[in-house]
Structure 1
Amino acid sequence: MNIFSYFKRKGIDTVDASFYTQIRKWISWYNANVRNFSTYKVYTGRGTSQKCERKSMGMAKKLSEDIADLLLNERVQITLDDEATNEYVQDVLKHNHFLVLGNDYQERKAYTGTVAYVPYMYDTVVNEEGEVVSGKIGINYVDAPNIYPVSWNNGDVRECIFLFPHTVNRKKYVQVQSHLIGNGEYVIENTVLESMSGSQEGKELREEEWRVLKPFQNMAKEIHTDSLEPQFVIDRLNITNNADADNPMGVAIFANALDVLKKLDIEFDSYCNEFLLGRKRIFVAPEMLTDDEGHMVFDPEEAIFYSLPEDYDKSKEGLIKEVDMQLRAEAHSKAINDDLNYLSLKCGFGTRRYQFEAAGVKTATEIISENSDMYRMIKKHEIILEDVLNRLIRIIIRMGIVLGQALNPDADITIDFDDSIIEDKETERKQDLQDVSIGVMSLEEYRAKWYGETVEQARENLPEQNQVME
């Protein structure tokens, strides 16, 4: 479906369509199914070519998994200093499986460059005055192919359109949700397109048409938020977009390392072919293939035995000729390791993050120093992610207040990222205990740091002083 034709007809400007071609290319590397590369032809020498599938190391997938696990995992702690607000936010995140889907979408962010989180209200109850008195908060997760910025300033997306694909009775539909500013507030509009094949523009359905479809029965056509605060958050990697400098979308973690990924797959495919083509073969005289009664002596399914030609000179070479090709395993292994180091460096992990051994690709797990490339890379990406999480939580709080919850909109938010892989936490904790013992660090500071609490919460949760002394 050509969504850009629909945008043009509606007078909507967004990111250039060519950038979404780049996104599809990054996705193809993630899926190890790259056009004009993953399959190739080999000339057979008889006027024909044989189609071959190139073996892949899948390093685009591995890179995306690793950065996602380093940025957002089960050890990341989000804490608010207001107890009621904290409990409400945690409940919303839990019911929306944020830690699971959040990690999933960090991986999607890594290979597409951009994701978005779009909170919404459902199961709302409205009183006679038209005021919302109760309801629930859900979170829609969106990846780059379905995100279309409309306006932005200094990279901050102010207006955006999101697509949500659905399938009903084997027909494909797309919910188009626009978040645009009008008359001093954000207005959220929903419409539905019936997907058309190829480059055709999708057919826009009337409201009475999409109301009968199950996924859209309770969907509001238009929502007035009475607020100039956006009800969506755009999340991207902290890498400058050199594919399109004026574009607020992000780029894949391996966007500038495609040549290295290509070279790695060529080397790995050659390595596999080395064992396939270089396997041991035994050529035998034709008369040795059958017994006196014409029965096959060797298993015809066994690919190790081949027949010598009839005019073969047996007096010089004998009845059996063994061919055992020398494998270039060491040369291939060195080439792959060299490029793994280069790939790791290009993507911010420093060198020697990955090692190619007999068992496959091994990931280094040693403690990483604070002056390493990987440490600085993760801290750089955490700058944007921390801001994204703060914005998401603020949206949840505002929506909770609309739903009648007594929440504190100014509650302090503390986000503790899991740096246990980067830093030696055990050593750091012992040092902090020493600082507490000599009075350099207070007990509430220690507790706030290691228990994911604010200083005020830590002070309230400290045991009685006599218990501490005991």
Structure 2
Amino acid sequence: MDLIQRIKNLFKRGGYALSGQMLKTINDHPKVNIDPAELARIERNMRQYAGDYPKVEYINSDGELRERDYMPLNMRKLSADVLAGLVFNEQCSVVVSDADEKDTNNTFHSANDYIQHVFQHNRFIKNLADYLEPTFALGGLTVRPYVDQSTGEMEFSWALANAFYPLRSNSNGISEGVMKSVTTKIENDKTIYYTLLEFHEWAKGENNENVYLITNELYKSNNKAEIGKRVPLSELHEGLQEKTPIRKLTRTNFNYLKPSGFNNINPHSPLGLGIADNSISTLTKINDTHDQFWWEIKMGQRTVFVSDQMLSTIPDEAGNPPKQVFDPDVNVYKSAHMGDGKEPVKDVTSDIRTEQYISAINQSLRTLEMELKLSVGTFSFDGQSVKTATEVVSENSLTYRTRNDHVYEVEQFIKGLVISTLELAKATTWKGEPLFNGEIPTAEHIGVDFDDGVFQDRAALLDFYGKAKTFGVIPTVEIIQRVFKVPKDTAEQWVKEIRAEEMGMVASEMDNQANQRLFGNEE
């Protein structure tokens, strides 16, 4: 760190202390130093993902300034939804290789049993399927396990890209960070915003050992745009400790998932990019074209000018009140002075340029497909261009290759979360017993099956690997791992069981042949 940066940090810390710990933004905190452009990018992504755009101003025919709603085609959300559905589904399964045992005190020894219990309790597979969409749209997702001391259950806390900020990182990922959660309360008919900042850092213990330290800070504000002034934790979270040290952890308690790819917008940032962050100009063209198309449809309703004499009303001969010539609910007819009255009715409706707009939107969608590395025909505004199943399944499909890149990131994320959960469970005591006291598995002992049936023909894979095995280029254990997505220990166990069954069948066949030689064939 250079001298100028150190001086800045000193002033920053001093201002933080002297101001009574007032924070306008997360960057005002002395521990946080994130490029403001990254924060602005994430907030922009949030607005676009929510379809939050400013109103459109225009001048009407009377020269008056008016406003109307902007009508975008929310491709940031749609593209993220499509990719999330391709990458992950609720049929995904996670298996940990270990001895499947429990003791009489109901303390888990089996890592697989414990993980299945925790995932089922937290509905992890369903929640991850839901959270992948905003992950791809915004650029990141953070999940951390924690223990509910009232029940002894392991819970998961989820944070989107706008609620997690890195503190320290290296080429292996983010090693320290802060998670933000906002809670609202009504006091004296006013909305109060409480922001809890949860810092995850590494510190040195008494014996120079690495200690994982979680620090909680609570802030209060009546302005949604500001974090506010620091207040005691007890004001909102009774019993929550300000500092919680955790020993014997080998990795961060939180796990950060980002879409595949390098952050080319800010190469020095450890944060991920939304899949459409390099397609802002294309998204703008699609939204503007769709908005203009919608407005042309609205303004293109039938309009007929009729002579003002036809819309004039006069009392009848009996003096009864005048009646309108046309239905009062009809807005098609507009009164106008038609001159000599030879053409009392004139249709001035203009044709809507439907084909031109659809063609323009589809052309922009082709550009978006190229930028997102998806196969041609993934998106279509008119429904005429539909990608076939063969194109999706084919390993040469661009969509298939892009999907595989993201699958790898999700797989590593799940494995990291499994290890973090087991480490925390082993380090946590509840009612005098650790929540888990078995062995902590390594990543290679954790299998994640994404249920690729839609994308991979497993019969074809078995045929391919079977031929490879014939030539002696790949062992059976490796084939089972690749086709069925199971850990190495499970694959080895399957091979043993298969061989045992084969030996049993051989022994049985030999007995049958011996009986036939002695007693002949039974009638």
TM-score by length of 1: 0.85
Tell me whether 1:65 sits opposite 2:81 in the alignment. yes
Identity of aligned residues (%): 21
Cα distance, 1:220 vs structure 2: 2.5
Match for residue 130 of structure 1?
A: none
User: For each residue in 1:202-224, what CA deviation from the matched residue of structure 2 results, as whole angstroms up to 9, or x when unmatched?
Assistant: 11112xxx3253xx224222211
The one-letter code matched in structure 2 to 1:366 is A
Q: Go from structure 1 to structure 2 and tell me whether the alpha carbon gap of 1:73 and 1:461 turns closer, same or farther (over 3 Å shift).
A: farther
Q: Go from structure 1 to structure 2 and tell me whether the alpha carbon gap of 1:2 and 1:388 turns closer, same or farther (over 3 Å shift).
A: farther
Cα distance, 1:401 vs structure 2: 2.2
Cα distance, 1:237 vs structure 2: 1.0
Match for residue 270 of structure 1?
A: 292
Tell me whether 1:219 sits opposite 2:252 in the alignment. no
Across the two proteins, how many residue pairs are aligned to each other?
A: 446
Match for residue 389 of structure 2?
A: 366
Matches within 5 A, 1:41-440: 41-44=57-60, 46-82=62-98, 83=100, 84-123=110-149, 135-154=152-171, 156-169=173-186, 170-183=191-204, 184-197=210-223, 200=226, 202-206=228-232, 210-211=233-234, 213=236, 216-226=237-247, 227-289=249-311, 293=316, 294-309=322-337, 311-315=338-342, 318-357=343-382, 364=387, 366-367=389-390, 368=392, 369-403=394-428, 404=434, 405-410=436-441, 412-423=445-456, 425=457, 428=460, 431=463
Q: Go from structure 1 to structure 2 and tell me whether the alpha carbon gap of 1:426 and 1:398 turns closer, same or farther (over 3 Å shift).
A: closer
Cα distance, 1:429 vs structure 2: 6.0
Taking the aligned partners of 2:497 and 2:399, their CA distance within structure 1 comes to 36
Taking the aligned partners of 2:145 and 2:224, their CA distance within structure 1 comes to 31
Tell me whether 1:456 sits opposite 2:498 in the alignment. no
**SS at 1:56 equivalent:** coil
Taking the aligned partners of 1:74 and 1:467, their CA distance within structure 2 comes to 38
| Structure 2 spans left out of the alignment, 5+ residues | 1-20, 101-109, 205-209, 317-321, 429-433, 510-523
The one-letter code matched in structure 1 to 2:288 is I
Q: Go from structure 1 to structure 2 and tell me whether the alpha carbon gap of 1:162 and 1:2 turns closer, same or farther (over 3 Å shift).
A: farther
Tell me whether 1:12 sits opposite 2:31 in the alignment. yes
Tell me which moved more, 246-255 or 443-452: 443-452
Q: Go from structure 1 to structure 2 and tell me whether the alpha carbon gap of 1:406 and 1:218 turns closer, same or farther (over 3 Å shift).
A: same
**SS at 2:178 equivalent:** strand
The one-letter code matched in structure 1 to 2:437 is A
**SS at 1:354 equivalent:** coil
The one-letter code matched in structure 2 to 1:301 is D
Taking the aligned partners of 1:225 and 1:447, their CA distance within structure 2 comes to 38
| Structure 1 spans left out of the alignment, 5+ residues | 126-134
Cα distance, 1:267 vs structure 2: 1.1
Taking the aligned partners of 2:259 and 2:469, their CA distance within structure 1 comes to 41
Cα distance, 1:388 vs structure 2: 1.3
Q: Go from structure 1 to structure 2 and tell me whether the alpha carbon gap of 1:92 and 1:17 turns closer, same or farther (over 3 Å shift).
A: same
- Contact 2:24/2:226 (8 A) holds in 1: no
Cα distance, 1:69 vs structure 2: 1.6
**SS at 2:460 equivalent:** helix
The one-letter code matched in structure 2 to 1:21 is A
Q: Go from structure 1 to structure 2 and tell me whether the alpha carbon gap of 1:168 and 1:306 turns closer, same or farther (over 3 Å shift).
A: closer
Cα distance, 1:288 vs structure 2: 2.8
Match for residue 44 of structure 2?
A: 25
Tell me which moved more, 434-443 or 168-177: 434-443
- Contact 1:400/1:407 (8 A) holds in 2: no
**SS at 2:141 equivalent:** strand
**SS at 2:271 equivalent:** coil
TM-score by length of 2: 0.77
- Contact 2:165/2:177 (8 A) holds in 1: yes
**SS at 1:355 equivalent:** coil
- Contact 1:195/1:202 (8 A) holds in 2: yes
- Contact 2:449/2:484 (8 A) holds in 1: no
Higher relative contact order (CA 8 A, sep 6+): 1
Cα RMSD of the aligned pairs, angstroms, is: 3.2
User: For each residue in 1:109-151, what CA deviation from the matched residue of structure 2 results, as whole angstroms up to 9, or x when unmatched?
Assistant: 11211111111122279xxxxxxxxx32111111111111111
Tell me which moved more, 116-125 or 184-193: 116-125
